[in-house]
Structure 1
Amino acid sequence: MTTTLSPELLGRMDAYWRAANYLSVGQIYLFDNPLLKRPLELTDVKHTLLGHWGTTPGQNFIYVHLNRIIKQYDLNMLYISGPGHGGPAVVSNTYLEGTYSEIYPDISQDEAGLQKLFLQFSFPGGIPSHASPECPGSIHEGGELGYSLSHAFGAVFDNPDLVVACVIGDGEAETGPLATSWHSNKFLDPVTDGVVLPILHLNGYKIANPTVLARISREELEQLLRGYGWTPYFVEGHEPALMHAAMAATLDTVMAQIQDIQQAARVHGDLTRPRWPMIVLVSPKGWTGPKVVDGVQIEGTFRAHQVPLSNPVAHPEHLQLLEDWLNSYRPEELFDKHGRLQPELAELAPTGERRMGANPHANGGMLLRDLRMPDFQDYAVDVPTPGVSGIGDTRVLGRFLRDVATLNGEQRNFRIFAPDEILSNGLEALFEVTQRQWDAATVANDEFLAPSGRVLDSMLSEHQCEGWLEGYLLTGRHGLFNCYEAFIHIIDSMFNQHAKWLKVTAHLPWRRKIASLNYLLTSHVWRQTANGFTHQDPGFIDHVVNKKAEVVRVYFPPDANCLLSVMDHCLRSRHYVNVVIAGKHPAPQWLSMDAAVKHCTQGISIWQWASNDQDAETDVVMACCGDVPTLETLAAVSILREHLPDLKIRVVNVVDLMKLQPQSEHPHGLSDADFDTIFTKDKPVIFAFHAYPWLIHRLTYRRTNHDNFHVRGYKEEGTISTPFDMTVMNDLDRFHLVMDAIDRLPQTGDKGSYLKQQLKDKLIEHKQYIGKYGQDMPEIRDWMWGITADATL
């Protein structure tokens, strides 16, 4: 039921809005004289003016109205600023509500605090102009646009009492991820999940152009939003008094609709997918700012996007315009002589954790509880001898994840996200205990669809999976993103932003650490032979390792037992991005569980059972990283040991990629002494790597023996072919690895020369065979460690 607010209350809300606008302009412009106690001078203005004004007054308007409904309805509400450049708005409002000063006591609620608040904004040693991690209440920086709505939905999954008000800029609404994220309402369970209230901030312009949604007809926009499944309510205008009354009435209507939906689902059992409400706020760009500057319209145009008065030094007349602008908010009515917000205005803000800046969900580590974990060793594959056949490493992992989901079902703080790939990637065991969350229509032949579930893989959008998971983690829960290796690139930029968030928040004492962002990448480059070249790309890890060493971890478990050990570690970890690459197809198993735990704990080790240099000086190091490179390396070793038995070979396997870096570059890095012990100081190293070879050189270029490293990996050769042929095309196969070793071991003499010729012949035979039969030769398909190599030559 709509509440009619008194003129007195609306007047105070307008004053609060003016206070937020005043603080926002002050942050952009003022170096000194924060309360305008004397006429403004050029020395009071910052030399470099940075910031974004255009979206800010609208967000300030929204914030004060949200404060009102939080108090009236006792809401647990989080604020997400999609137009992230509106940093002045979230800083101003968290300052006015008191949260900012509680976290940063030196930014006190007085004139001295205002001075510091203004000076720090976009100033060396200060804070960014976005809704950055330094700002209380923020889980979404918005430096890159498009992710606000998916973050909002991730936040409300399994948070039935939470309401997330998500402000979406109309420029942001043009991005692919945001345009897709409107469909997130088909995955929201009104019983077990919270509510997302989108507020589309339609102010008409981007940096230099109009926005699409502002230039289509009202009918077309309404049909678009209704087509997405929303009920849009429009609040439009520019006259403050009328806009305040309209916004208040609309929010009351929206809250009544939300309460009706929740009661219908939670009390009466009506599970019909609701048409959730949303608001479209149509207000001028740069509302309440300068209307005309130098004869050019500013308010209501793209020119209001950033700094409307950009250079008072070069244009002294702008100084008076700035002073008039600041005085238009009548600061003497808003703040007392000491710079404190007037008490009758301060009381409009919620108190305690009901303040949006102080909501615990915006500092998710405060709410984080440890996962209840089964003992991963209970899922061990029996490996009586190295090389036994396996069913597929991720299929073993699926049973472990199934039980993680089961153990944490009651506390509802663990989910798995994938873009329609849970079954494809071998995690089908999950569906023994949970469903795919889905709140759209179902038909008789559908599988595993239900309004509530621990799995979200029914939307073919890597963007949404990433955004949902990030929102879920940032609000204090745990999760896993499972994806085809080649297409995880789709979220490169989203990963960037999250990694930067982790890096910054790790150094903010008041920010608690959150659960790690865990990627399981499978259907990988070496086993995408059916889908071909488009599906063959291992380059995501090159992108990942660019980020700060304190944040990123990359793992290549060579078999199922190692994968179990690695994943147990990753799910327990905090504040990292963990990337795990593993196979789903049947593959050899190398290590018993006890050996796997030791190997993964070290991250890199000499496989003594595959080496023969224990009692003599090493001739060559055969190193490998990744499941298929491990297979091909061990097959190459078997050939060398059979045909060149005098060679002393050391086999090294790498699980933790960052072990290759020096300790000075990564906390997992090996010391130079340990690295030299493993790889020697002067012997040839033939390194078979899962991804692009240059990365190994990059990680090891400072090492003593780097010049003797010869790396084989993916070199952008691929097509629809056989699994073994993929390795041949990229010179990663066992035959090329043996030839690489021979080329670097002159002591092999004629024996080496003849063996090399045999291997070249074998490669020709391989090509002829697959061209005729469409599959790899039997000696390749059936090869096992410990069987003499004669059968393959």
Structure 2
Amino acid sequence: MTDLKLVDAWWRAANYLSAGQIYLSGNPLLREPLRPGHIKPRLLGHWGTSPGLTFCYAHLNRIIRERDLNLIYVMGPGHGGPAAVAGAWLDGTYSEVYPGVSQDERGMARLFRQFSTPGGIPSHVAPETPGSIHEGGELGYSLAHAYGAAFDNPDLVVACIVGDGEAETGPLATSWHSTKFVDPVRDGAVLPILHLNGYKIANPTVLARIPEAELVSLLEGYGHKPYVVSGDDPMTMHEKMAATLDEAVSEIARIQAAAREGGSTGRAAWPMIILRTPKGWTGPREVDGVPVEGTWRAHQVPLSGVRDNPEHLAQLEEWLRSYRPEELFDDQGRPVAALREQVPAGDRRMSASPHANGGLLLKELDLPDFRRYAVEVASPGATSAEATRVLGGMLRDVITGNPRTFRVMGPDEVASNRLSDVFEVTDRVWAGEILPGDEHLAPRGRVMEVLSEHLCQGWLEGYLLTGRHGLFTTYEAFVHIVDAMFNQHAKWLKVTRGIPWRRPIASLTYLLSSHVWRQDHNGFTHQDPGFLDVVVNKKAEVVRVYLPPDANTLLSVMDHCLRSRDYVNVVVAGKQPAPAWLTMDQAVAHCTRGIGIWDFASSDQGAEPDVVMACAGDVPTLETLAAVDLLRRELPDLKVRVVNVVDLMRLMPDTEHPHGLTDRDYDALFTTGKPVIFAFHGYPWLIHRLTYRRNGHADLHVRGYKEEGTTTTPFDMVMLNDLDRFHLVMDVIDRVPGLAVRASHLRQKMADERLRLRAHTREHGEDAPEITGWTWPGEG
């Protein structure tokens, strides 16, 4: 075994670098007495968790080197950035990807100055940090990311350091159950290290204050085999941690060998470590007579007045010199040879692992030709199809062609969302007990279902970030549960686009079905299309929103999304029988444009339209075409143009989004002064947000979901929100000049139809046959 004094020396060096990042803007090696001018004007950062993280890093380095492990880290504690950056600089990776931050005194000075400063790097473990796949800005997702990284990576070990504050979150509490979804034959292993330093920002943490026997029982109940390492004496702790880490890694190897060589099929009790250390370990014990080390006061900056308070400045210098930097760095400021020898070789360095830069490992999906699954369309609307069921056939073959690099994840809704064809070739992952009568459960399935949207998204993010592909399918209303996770991933992608050494990864694609307009049976709680508003808030270069109106356009859109890189794609598609409007060739052309005039439904050929009927979404498209049918019969001289939007971002100006239309192209579609009646899948104001700079915006009238819902029929649902065909006709009459008087009888007829049809639903409990049986008339 490595001399633990050398492990301690590496740890001291990492602690020195961590504290230096928080405090120093000059004199990085203390070659002269510390002066106020050497201190940063703004002291930002988090010391409290850093020494525990560097302690783990030092010991993981040792075991990687001794056993030639393929291992990456995930650091869950929110602002442990100094520790991860220190580790990457000590092992040389940081200077390789940022040559200006060289591994010498000059580079150390830059390392310190850049930390948590304008134009520098964040205080958390961020995309800029080599070796990271986990953004530390929000707590709760580290363990899910770690397991996502381990799936289909049989030679990988992921050491996940879980902060005790983070351990209080719901997503993290659920993530302990990920052991029930690990296959020791096909997957790698996660080694959770629950780092208990006792405090959050200002309060004790729950798991640090319960009796140890209760904590061990809790984690055993989750299915783990806990090992406890506790104390504050450095050398004693090094001995304990080294022995425990050796045993835990050996236990992982035994579990995998039993499954891979011995055929063991039972669910294993995977090892994990409970690490108790003082918060702010090795830092100031007291400041101004008040305890700091081991208390919540060590959370951020233990000595905050060092520029103005000579006693604090002297105490800071004493603290920094306690690490004996003169022993750790040579005359040029490089780590001494003994420290460099503690670093694993090449890609075995945690900060240099290609698994932490997944684009380096990413392989193209072997995708089937999506045209093979086309719905035959003899004429618009003559054929009915369940769009997501059709997609299920394509996804089945995607799984077949990519048996180790593609997974579908969802919260118990893959079958509910009509993707059941995937179960012809795969099962749901399940390492737990399987009973007679269970269907499609197996340790090696490609579908992952657990009733936690957080866990599904966290797994998928970890899977994508380490170089694989996947799809997240869920009910539209409940994707809101992962709003914050989406935010963090979108921010990660936005930042990585500006980091040359970060290679593009497969896009995160959401398929939202069971959507707002067909949740009539489940009621108001299941009716919410607002995720689109959340997505559109993010930077234009990383978000895409697609609203395919039928099955063939869904196939084309999904093929595009699965080929894309570094985006978040949101696809909203219905699962209920609905008209198929376009042939496959027409669908490909329409999706390539992203927006277009539907000639078969328009009556303005060769002339200016009197009104533009726009639509985005399957149900809004159906209601728009039904309204156009009424207008053609009732007002045959009215010139109507129908514009369908598949790619929502086409509505934005080309100066604001890569998919945006030029003003000229937008005006050619929507005109500059004619009324536009826009039937939209989501909240109406989103369309106004996207188009507010456009010519003719004052003539744009949007119908969509306006927070009116209940348990009712599908058509009553659209009537509740004034999105129905009759109301759209009324909107045309109200907005086309000259129609308000001339077509007043028709307007009254439309209002009467709404009343009649509502009464029908109340009396019969279903929509009237003329609604459910309506089809496009088929001429044109």
Same fold (TM over 0.5): yes
Alignment correspondent of 1:474: 465
For 1:11, the aligned partner's letter is K
1:737-776 paired onto structure 2 within 5 Å: 737-748=728-739, 750-776=741-767
SS of match in other structure, 1:257: helix
SS of match in other structure, 2:532: helix
Alignment correspondent of 1:171: 165
* Structure 1 range deviating more: 505-514 or 747-756: 747-756
- Evaluate the alpha carbon distance shift between residue 272 and residue 57 of structure 1 in structure 2; reply closer, same or farther with a 3 A threshold: same
Native 8 Å contact 1:236 1:243 kept in 2: yes
Native 8 Å contact 2:410 2:456 kept in 1: yes
Alignment correspondent of 1:529: 520
State the alpha-carbon separation in 2 of the partners of residues 460 and 622 from structure 1. 40
Shift of 1:262: 0.6
Alignment correspondent of 2:720: 729
SS of match in other structure, 1:357: helix
Alignment correspondent of 2:437: 445
Pick aligned residue for 2:256 from 246, 251, 262: 262
State the alpha-carbon separation in 2 of the partners of residues 389 and 233 from structure 1. 62
Q: How many residues align?
A: 779
State the alpha-carbon separation in 1 of the partners of residues 713 and 310 from structure 2. 73
For 1:768, the aligned partner's letter is A
Per-residue displacement from partner, 1:500-542 (whole Å, max 9, x unpaired)? 0000001101000000000000000000011000000000010
For 1:441, the aligned partner's letter is E
Native 8 Å contact 2:196 2:208 kept in 1: yes
Per-residue displacement from partner, 1:699-726 (whole Å, max 9, x unpaired)? 0010111100000000000000000011
State the alpha-carbon separation in 1 of the partners of residues 740 and 180 from structure 2. 68
For 1:430, the aligned partner's letter is V
SS of match in other structure, 2:208: coil
- Evaluate the alpha carbon distance shift between residue 619 and residue 592 of structure 1 in structure 2; reply closer, same or farther with a 3 A threshold: same
Alignment correspondent of 2:488: 497
For 2:446, the aligned partner's letter is R
State the alpha-carbon separation in 2 of the partners of residues 160 and 227 from structure 1. 25
SS of match in other structure, 1:651: strand
* Structure 1 range deviating more: 309-318 or 682-691: 309-318
Alignment correspondent of 1:517: 508
1:551-570 paired onto structure 2 within 5 Å: 551-570=542-561
Does 1:245 find its partner at 2:227?
A: no
Per-residue displacement from partner, 1:483-516 (whole Å, max 9, x unpaired)? 0000000000000000000000011010000000
Native 8 Å contact 1:438 1:450 kept in 2: yes
State the alpha-carbon separation in 1 of the partners of residues 606 and 27 from structure 2. 79
Per-residue displacement from partner, 1:631-686 (whole Å, max 9, x unpaired)? 00000000000000010000000000000000011010000000000000100000
SS of match in other structure, 2:596: strand
For 2:430, the aligned partner's letter is W
For 1:438, the aligned partner's letter is W
Alignment correspondent of 1:675: 666
For 1:468, the aligned partner's letter is W
State the alpha-carbon separation in 1 of the partners of residues 70 and 256 from structure 2. 15
Native 8 Å contact 2:520 2:710 kept in 1: yes
Shift of 1:388: 2.1
State the alpha-carbon separation in 2 of the partners of residues 42 and 359 from structure 1. 39
Native 8 Å contact 1:389 1:586 kept in 2: no
Pick aligned residue for 2:479 from 473, 477, 488: 488
State the alpha-carbon separation in 2 of the partners of residues 677 and 402 from structure 1. 41
Native 8 Å contact 1:561 1:592 kept in 2: yes
State the alpha-carbon separation in 2 of the partners of residues 313 and 62 from structure 1. 32
State the alpha-carbon separation in 2 of the partners of residues 500 and 235 from structure 1. 36
State the alpha-carbon separation in 1 of the partners of residues 740 and 619 from structure 2. 30
Alignment correspondent of 1:421: 413
Alignment correspondent of 1:791: none
Native 8 Å contact 2:125 2:132 kept in 1: yes
SS of match in other structure, 1:677: helix
Native 8 Å contact 2:385 2:580 kept in 1: no
For 1:145, the aligned partner's letter is L
1:532-547 paired onto structure 2 within 5 Å: 532-547=523-538
Native 8 Å contact 1:76 1:162 kept in 2: yes
Shift of 1:316: 2.0
Pick aligned residue for 1:454 from 431, 446, 456: 446
Alignment correspondent of 2:87: 93
Alignment correspondent of 2:344: 350
Native 8 Å contact 2:375 2:385 kept in 1: no
Alignment correspondent of 1:434: 426
State the alpha-carbon separation in 1 of the partners of residues 606 and 458 from structure 2. 54
State the alpha-carbon separation in 2 of the partners of residues 746 and 10 from structure 1. 86
State the alpha-carbon separation in 1 of the partners of residues 607 and 38 from structure 2. 77
Does 1:704 find its partner at 2:695?
A: yes
Native 8 Å contact 1:644 1:751 kept in 2: no
Native 8 Å contact 2:141 2:172 kept in 1: yes
Alignment correspondent of 1:290: 284
Native 8 Å contact 2:225 2:269 kept in 1: yes
Shift of 1:445: 1.1
State the alpha-carbon separation in 1 of the partners of residues 17 and 345 from structure 2. 21
Q: Is there any run of 5+ residues in structure 1 with no aligned partner, and where? A: 789-793
For 2:452, the aligned partner's letter is S
Alignment correspondent of 1:71: 65
Native 8 Å contact 1:151 1:472 kept in 2: yes
1:217-236 paired onto structure 2 within 5 Å: 217-236=211-230
Native 8 Å contact 2:36 2:308 kept in 1: no
Alignment correspondent of 2:129: 135
Does 1:574 find its partner at 2:565?
A: yes
Shift of 1:750: 4.9
State the alpha-carbon separation in 1 of the partners of residues 668 and 591 from structure 2. 18
Alignment correspondent of 1:336: 330
Native 8 Å contact 2:150 2:190 kept in 1: yes
Alignment correspondent of 1:388: 382
Per-residue displacement from partner, 1:39-67 (whole Å, max 9, x unpaired)? 10000110100000000000100001000
Shift of 1:767: 1.3
Pick aligned residue for 1:155 from 105, 130, 149: 149
Pick aligned residue for 2:586 from 591, 595, 607: 595
Per-residue displacement from partner, 1:198-248 (whole Å, max 9, x unpaired)? 000000000000000011001110110000000000000000010000000
For 2:271, the aligned partner's letter is P
For 2:200, the aligned partner's letter is K
Percent identity of the aligned residues?
67
SS of match in other structure, 1:587: strand
Native 8 Å contact 1:529 1:719 kept in 2: yes
Shift of 1:279: 0.3
Alignment correspondent of 1:19: 13
For 2:625, the aligned partner's letter is L
State the alpha-carbon separation in 1 of the partners of residues 472 and 655 from structure 2. 30
Shift of 1:615: 2.4
Shift of 1:353: 0.2
Pick aligned residue for 1:204 from 191, 198, 205: 198
**TM-score, normalised by the number of residues in structure 1:** 0.98
Q: Is there any run of 5+ residues in structure 2 with no aligned partner, and where? A: none
Shift of 1:752: 1.1
Native 8 Å contact 2:396 2:424 kept in 1: yes
Pick aligned residue for 2:610 from 616, 619, 624: 619
Runs of 4+ in 1 over 4 A off after TM superposition: none
Pick aligned residue for 1:397 from 375, 388, 391: 391
Does 1:318 find its partner at 2:309?
A: no
Pick aligned residue for 2:118 from 110, 115, 124: 124
Shift of 1:88: 0.4
Alignment correspondent of 2:540: 549
State the alpha-carbon separation in 1 of the partners of residues 343 and 78 from structure 2. 22
Does 1:84 find its partner at 2:75?
A: no
State the alpha-carbon separation in 2 of the partners of residues 498 and 172 from structure 1. 18
Alignment correspondent of 1:784: 775
For 1:712, the aligned partner's letter is R
For 2:18, the aligned partner's letter is S
SS of match in other structure, 1:321: helix
Native 8 Å contact 1:545 1:552 kept in 2: yes
Alignment correspondent of 1:32: 26
